[in-house]
Amino acid sequence: MKPKQVASIEPIQRCIFETSLLIKQEPAQLFSKNKKIVYELACPPNALHQGKLNYSRWHAMELPESVSLRGLSDKVICQAGYYDYLPSPSPSTSFEWHLNFADPDLFLAYGSDLLAQDEMQVAEHPVLASLKQKLNALQIDSSTLDDDNPTPVLIKGAERRCSLKTEPNAFEGRPFGLYGNAFGKASEDAIRKAVNIITPPTITNLICIAAPDGGEGSYQLAEIIYTLKAAYTGFKAALMESGTTPVIIHSGYWGCGAYGGNRILMTWLQALAATFAGVDQLILHTGEPDFGELKKAWSSINKNIGVKPLATNVLLEKILAMGFEWNEGDGN
């Protein structure tokens, strides 16, 4: 395989921090008693923190002028379950990234009782809380949205020090699971039983992008463009941050929980963004094992558009004409 030629585009801001100093200088600010329990288990006083955290924030990148859907389906793998952060079996030399379903205010609610996707990532990667505090202290703008334009944040080298079991398990004290608002209501014993310490910690790389929020009725063209541009910018930046190795991105139903995004459209636009960016593989963690209807819907979209190259503005109009509808948010 020939080394990838990646265009040189500089981020808005780049900061590199020593993980051990960051944890010491900027301790997490936790208001939730249950988050404190998780943190104390993952980061006891004698914990050894190693490595560096590389933070970068990026301007929205312009979409390519034309695109072909040829090979799009080959880039995407649907995988039952949720993030397990285990390295993909092939290719073994790949650089892997995981999407963070970010709020426009990065890691906004990490210290609260809420445990949605973003807050769970911070709980499992405690250094992210210290990063948030450090960026605030330095008055560095870490927002993932600037007016109506996405400004993705990339974070390389975050230690994952624990994993949280969120699935329902009455025997362990979480009959309704721990996800969403259930986390804050759980007992201390249930929280302790849900935490698995990872020794030694593994390393995670994150792409933090905010999905469009609060739409209703049919998707508007501006919402489709924003979604595609946010994913494309984050994916392209990840490619540039990965050197010449193959790049694998892990994602899922980004923006389809509390925001009420359309699962078919939001996953297909991510696949399209991965094709635009030149990502080698996109792994979609779909939770439930039955994703046949999802793949059937993508196939219908691809058939409707075709595989011949076409102008991006024409492609966007074709997507708009399909009339994708917003869903109701799930409240988590």
Do the bridges between strand 76-80 and strand 281-287 make them parallel or antiparallel, or are there none, so unpaired? Answer: parallel
Nearest by Cα to 38 from 117, 119, 98: 119
What was the pLDDT predicted at 73? 81
Report the DSSP beta bridge partners of residue 14: 56
State the helix-helix crossing angle for 33-42 and 117-124, rounded to 10 degrees: 40
Write down the domain spans for the chain. 13-321
- Contact present, 81 and 291 (Cβ < 8 Å): no
- Give 13-321's CATH code, choosing from 1.10.287.180, 3.40.220.10, 3.40.50.300, 3.60.15.10: 3.40.220.10
Phi, psi of 261 (to 5 degrees): -70, 155
Nearest by Cα to 298 from 259, 262, 326: 262
Q: How far apart are CA 156 and CA 22, in angstroms?
A: 14
Sequential pLDDT tens for the chain (332 residues): 344 544 558 999 999 999 999 999 999 999 999 999 999 999 999 999 999 999 999 999 999 999 888 888 888 999 998 999 987 776 567 899 999 999 999 999 999 999 999 999 999 999 999 999 999 999 999 999 998 899 999 999 999 999 999 999 999 999 999 999 999 999 999 999 999 999 999 999 999 999 998 789 999 999 999 999 999 999 999 999 998 889 999 999 999 988 999 999 999 999 999 999 999 999 999 988 777 788 888 888 888 888 788 999 999 999 999 999 999 877 66
Q: How far apart are CA 259 and CA 237, in angstroms?
A: 24
What are the tens digits of pLDDT across the range 180-211?
Answer: 999 999 999 999 999 999 999 999 999 999 99
What are the tens digits of pLDDT across the range 137-170?
Answer: 999 999 999 988 999 999 999 999 999 999 999 9
Which contiguous run of DSSP H or E holds residue 118? helix 117-124
Nearest by Cα to 240 from 152, 135, 149: 152
Structure tokens at 110: 């990490």
3-state helix, strand, coil in the chain (%, to 5): 35, 25, 40
